[in-house]
Structure 1
Amino acid sequence: MTVVTVKENAVSLEQRITNLVNGMEKLDDIVDRYPGPGFTDGLYGEKGAPLKAKIVREDALAMAREGRNLRVGIIGRVKAGKSSLLNALMFAGNDVLPKAATPMTASLTILRYTDQDMPYAEVEYFRPEDVNDMRQLAEEYDSRFTVLLAERQKAAEERAARPGARNVSQPDPERLSASVKRELDTDPRLGGAKDMYARICDAGGLGDKGGKTERVDGRDLADLQGKLANYVGSGGRLTPFTKCLTLYLPIPSLQGVDVVDTPGVNDPVRSREERTMEELHNCDVVFVVSPAGQFLNRQDLDLMGRLTYKDGVREVFLVASQVDGQLFGSERDKHDGRLPDVLQGLRSTLATQASNTLAAENATNQGLDTLKSQLAERLVVTSSVAHALLTQPETEWDDTVRHVWSLLRSGYPAEFT
């Protein structure tokens, strides 16, 4: 990459950041038209520390002089909206990133720019030692299942045998078994390994693919996406063997930027978890994505614990995604259906919840400390459905978008007629 190209990319990045800031200020202006309590700080919090596009440009130029890209990490549980957020920010809402159908099919995905005319991907398969780790954890799952089932069976029998016990039937073995299985399946470590190992066994084992990296070429982005369904799709033939995926895309918005999209669970595969930790450690900024309806639950906090691996992550931002789903409950009633007031109230509620939750956590590093102290500036509220409503023709809306549009029209007729 030439010096001229680097400068052009830095200027382009500066312009995108400037546009973002201008858009935020424009939203503040809109909100100011609706007088009422709670609006003194503007829609995006305190205005005392505005985002500086010049600083972003200087940092980008400094990284270019070091010969490296700006590295952006995304963490969050499965179905948190990570892929939708990235697709909206980087790819004009197009579904470029593969979406994990289940926690166990989520792979570490890295996006990079290529100056080649056609996109391609590198698929890294699990190694034999990875499968052995899964097997050991699957055996631990089975042992734990046997112990828990016996304990529950004994406890149920003792309750039924107590003197004076009435209408207590003998325990149903099938119901007890299903209950124990549900409990273990929700454990990302044991349940994840059990599921992944079973998938690999059902697919006939690794065979000669173990530890190899395969290149997948596409004529264009759509062609590549179609081929990748075989490697990361929920029903893909090679999905059980895929460990990591690196996408090389000739998309200008990726110039000078690497994006690291991490698996949505604490990974049962030790080597991939170590690789994820290494990738996150090398990130300059990390976005923590959490659904507004189940904001900052235990799984989110466990994922954020990855950031304490080392102190390399300097900048952390918190994204409350899928906010459109929270516009029709108590906040709407509290503010009599005034949309700007509802948005402001919802954001204040989420900020308070995040502040209380993070204050109770002992995990710390430079990035998390800055997030805690500057939460008003670093909490972002998003809606990929709103982005789809804005950018997609109505003929392309899916059922979710149509449903939200119907709710908005009935819940906020002044804004959505």
Structure 2
Amino acid sequence: MSTVNKDNKDKEVLQNILKIQDNIDKIKEKYKDDAEFIDEIETSCYKSLFKGKKRIEEDFKEQVNTDRNIRVGIVGRVKAGKSSLLNSLLFEGRDILPKAPTPMTAALTQMEYSKINYIEIEFITEDDMSLLKEQKEEYKKLFERTREEINKEKEGKVEDLSKEAEERIKANDSNEILIASNEIYYNIKKIKENNKNIYDEVMSNTIKRIDFNNIEEIKDKLKDYVSSDGIYVNFVKSLKLYINLDILKEISILDTPGFNDPLATRNEKANQLLSKCEAILILTPSTHNFSRSDIDAINRISKREGIQEIYVVISKFDDSLLSDDIVRKADGDLDNAIENVLDELYDNIEDNFNKINNDGVFDNILKNVKKRITYSSGMCANMFETFENKAKWDNEKKKVFENFCEKYSDYFSEKENELSILSLKKLGNIKRIREILKDVESKKEDLLKDSLRKFDKRYKASADDIIKEITNYIDRKERQIDSGTTEDKTKEINNLLKSYDKIKPMIHSTYIDTLRIWEMNIDKELINILDKHYANLNISINSLIKEKDAMFGKKKKYINVQEILYIFNNYIREFNNFNLNFRISKYMELENSVSKNIISIFSREMPDNTEISNSSIKNLISNVTINYQNKIEFVTFDELLKDKVFADKFKDDFNTVNKYSGKSTVEGKDAENLIIGVNGAKEWIKHKFKEQIDLRINKLFNELNNLDFSNILLRKYQNKLENELRELKDKSSSIDKWKKIKKEIRNII
């Protein structure tokens, strides 16, 4: 396709998506007098990709970009062998990436290429803690109910009622989230009580950066954050590893927690990042193939995201080969054993994918099972890579090797090293995994070009979700109209009016208090992030400044120009990157806090209003504040340059930097000038960002503070009930009206 044709196709797709947004906006304008219906549309759009033309155009620019790495996602439950596989693929079998100690502490991990080695750790927030606390309370209720049930069943004749209740709860997979939340919450509470400095450090710093010089340092640098006894392990939400590694120059890797995550924000982020991957490797252990945990992890993948390349890796393959039954059937022949196990697993995997292939996402696997499914043993790959240091193997590796020597003596031997090395290499099968990645890499141009189709598919699927959600809302409205009575609705309205003057000041006071705490926290958190970025840049720059002996016993500074330009541009890029996600998360944090506090007022003061529910009140609150979401705009670097004073000063300093951009290294006076230029430019960025953030936060806070929130919320609720009463007075016309609207909604695409 020519460049002109491609550009035309790109524009056509974008215009079609923008037209859907137009159609949504037209419906909102047409029915603007029906506040409840408009609230429903806005809430549905808020949860979708359709948040206005500007956001769509920004997403289009980022997604339909052929000048970036292929993104490869690794999907599989915790303990599926993902860390072992990645250690073999990236680090020649060395134990660099640690294993998650438990499902609930498995962090979302991204690995990307960088000239400068560093780790970026994202911690949980106060909002995450609030959610964990709510889920802990749910666990407590479940625990008490289970205790009572067991006590009744066994007529009080239970030796340890609490222990039996715990075991019964754990036996039910659907309780995983509550169990995990309960454990994480109490672990964090314990740290808060015994080591408050750690707790305060985490809660005041969303992001932490750790530099490392070489790959061997990674494990040691991460031990406090991912190991079972790590002091920060319960606080970690995600990790980003920026590594100077050739394999990552073309491919970025995402390792997702294979667990129904107790942290909703981490789960949401994992799904969001996974949706942007071009290729997926699904890991499923050979001896526990396709458990419920596997299916939960695999269900992250949806056809709507348009992921093009999907492969299955049967992990921990050595486990299946050592069973007596497999050894006997193969008569000690390793090749026959591999073939027998694979044939059985191919059938099992094919059957399971057929069951969950409702939207055709796994068609490529099912059409070519043997090409799309392979095996690997991280254990054997590691033993192959470290065979020369066999004496230093841990007891587990020694035992596995001993078992292979006993059961496959023609392939493994304590004496014949070459034979054993070849067999371990075969079982590790890392060459095949690398071939898969090479194959994906070779398709980079086509895969990235296909990002246009993927963008189109994602937005149309999101529009389908809006249609489905609003259609369901209309169906509920029709049922309510059909079954409701004017008497009951009048009673609800009267109940609200009686309580109005009492609860209005309570809502106002709660809203203002929540808003003030939010404003104080958001300002503090943003300043901490800016300071952290600035401190990280200083560390990186200082690490690049070298000295060498000059004449007369003096020292002369010298510096690598390309490296300093790289980290400085990365500094600017980091500011731009956190802007959107931080803005959305802070809005959600405000909405959740306000909702939680005000729902408790309704529940306490108006218990007889049968129509009130947490979700209905939360939707009302969301739509009172939703217009303010996009006002939480934190300045980007490009916006800073529009300020003439800043632009002139910055360009003076940056021109000093640019003067040396064609050189590899500079020394002496030139090195000092380069450092002065970079320091001046970064000082101006830090100063201007802080100034703009303070201005925008104060402006937003004043707007929200001046909002007549309690009155608007109660009026919305009253209007909702009065509108429902009007509809009940003429049921036939009301139902006809909603059927007409339903037809219009279905035609927005």
CA RMSD of aligned residues (A): 2.1
| TM, length-normalised to structure 1 | 0.77
Q: Is the 8 A contact 2:119 2:241 kept in 1?
A: yes
Q: How big is the shift at 1:184?
A: 6.4
- Which of the residues 199, 217, 223 maps onto 1:223? 217
Structure 1 residues 186 and 200 mapped into 2: Cα distance closer, same or farther (>3 Å)? Answer: farther
Counterpart of 1:143, as a letter, is K
Distance in 2 of aligned mates of 1:240 and 1:89: 28
Counterpart of 1:219, as a letter, is N
Q: Which residue of 2 aligns with 1:295?
A: 289
Distance in 2 of aligned mates of 1:130 and 1:321: 33
- Which of the residues 313, 332, 335 maps onto 1:319? 313
Q: How big is the shift at 1:195?
A: 1.2
- Which of the residues 139, 146, 156 maps onto 1:148? 146
- Alignment pair present for 1:245 and 2:233: no
- Alignment pair present for 1:408 and 2:404: yes
Counterpart of 2:179, as a letter, is G
Q: Which residue of 1 aligns with 2:200?
A: 207
Matches of residues 102-251 of structure 1 in structure 2 within 5 Å? 102-116=102-116, 119-157=117-155, 170-174=157-161, 175-183=163-171, 187-204=175-192, 206-210=199-203, 212-251=206-245
Counterpart of 2:353, as a letter, is L
Q: How big is the shift at 1:372?
A: 2.3
Distance in 2 of aligned mates of 1:141 and 1:346: 41
Matches of residues 26-105 of structure 1 in structure 2 within 5 Å? 66-105=66-105
Please state whether the residue corresponding to 1:139 is helix, strand or coil: helix
Q: Which residue of 1 aligns with 2:373?
A: 379
Structure 1 residues 209 and 83 mapped into 2: Cα distance closer, same or farther (>3 Å)? Answer: same
Distance in 1 of aligned mates of 2:409 and 2:378: 21
Distance in 2 of aligned mates of 1:364 and 1:90: 33
Matches of residues 260-409 of structure 1 in structure 2 within 5 Å? 260-308=254-302, 310-329=304-323, 330-366=325-361, 368-392=362-386, 393=388, 394-409=390-405
Deviations 1:114-160 (A, max 9, x none): 112xx211111111111111111111011011111111211122xx9
Distance in 1 of aligned mates of 2:412 and 2:241: 38
Q: Is the 8 A contact 1:218 1:224 kept in 2?
A: yes
Distance in 1 of aligned mates of 2:305 and 2:122: 28
Deviations 1:323-355 (A, max 9, x none): 111113322212222211111010000001111
Structure 1 residues 102 and 68 mapped into 2: Cα distance closer, same or farther (>3 Å)? Answer: same
Q: How big is the shift at 1:409?
A: 0.8
Please state whether the residue corresponding to 1:310 is helix, strand or coil: helix
Q: Is the 8 A contact 2:92 2:382 kept in 1?
A: no
Q: Is the 8 A contact 2:109 2:239 kept in 1?
A: yes
Q: Is the 8 A contact 2:170 2:179 kept in 1?
A: no
| Sequence identity (%) | 29
Counterpart of 1:124, as a letter, is E
Structure 1 residues 253 and 415 mapped into 2: Cα distance closer, same or farther (>3 Å)? Answer: same
Counterpart of 2:391, as a letter, is T
Deviations 1:199-239 (A, max 9, x none): 21111174353361111112323334312111222111111
Structure 1 residues 403 and 349 mapped into 2: Cα distance closer, same or farther (>3 Å)? Answer: same
Q: How big is the shift at 1:185?
A: 8.6
Higher relative contact order (CA 8 A, sep 6+): 1
Counterpart of 1:246, as a letter, is K
Q: How big is the shift at 1:112?
A: 0.8
Distance in 2 of aligned mates of 1:97 and 1:110: 12
Q: Is the 8 A contact 2:104 2:262 kept in 1?
A: no
Q: Is the 8 A contact 2:225 2:231 kept in 1?
A: yes
Q: How big is the shift at 1:64?
A: 12
Q: Is the 8 A contact 2:303 2:359 kept in 1?
A: no
Q: Is the 8 A contact 2:150 2:165 kept in 1?
A: no
Instruction: Tell me the number of residue pairs that the alignment of Structure 1 and Structure 2 aligns.
Output: 341
Q: How big is the shift at 1:414?
A: 1.2
Q: How big is the shift at 1:387?
A: 1.3
Please state whether the residue corresponding to 1:96 is helix, strand or coil: coil
Q: How big is the shift at 1:309?
A: 7.3
Distance in 2 of aligned mates of 1:337 and 1:94: 30
**Rg larger in structure:** 2
Q: How big is the shift at 1:411?
A: 0.6
Please state whether the residue corresponding to 1:101 is helix, strand or coil: coil
Q: Is the 8 A contact 1:308 1:363 kept in 2?
A: no
Q: How big is the shift at 1:278?
A: 0.7
Counterpart of 2:341, as a letter, is L
Q: Is the 8 A contact 2:312 2:374 kept in 1?
A: yes
